[in-house]
Amino acid sequence: MVVDVRVVREGDGRWAVLAGGLVYDCFDSEDEAVKTARLLKKAEDTLEEINELVWDKIMSLSKEERRFLSEYVGGQIVFNLEEAEEK
């Protein structure tokens, strides 16, 4: 799911980062808002790419292998991103 990310100026003069029409965060500086919007868009794009790669890999398994994998992981696959930050 691709989320629309935008930066808009609010009535109080602050800059809001919108994600899917909802306020993600607000900033006093337009530069901070633009930087956050860029990072948010990159994160959304990365998650979409990861989702597609994982889905392709899972669909390459046989039905029996997918069923076993689902049971083995309790229906969810979770990644620990903190490990990546340590490297």
> Which sequence spans correspond to the domains of the chain?
5-86
Q: How far is CA 81 from CA 67, 84, 86, 87, in A?
A: 26, 5, 9, 10
- Write out pLDDT tens, residues 50-85: 999 999 999 999 999 999 999 999 999 888 888 777
Strand order in the sheet with 22-27: 5-9, 15-19, 22-27
Rg of the chain on CA atoms, in Å: 18
Tens digits of residue pLDDT in 5-19? 999 999 999 999 999
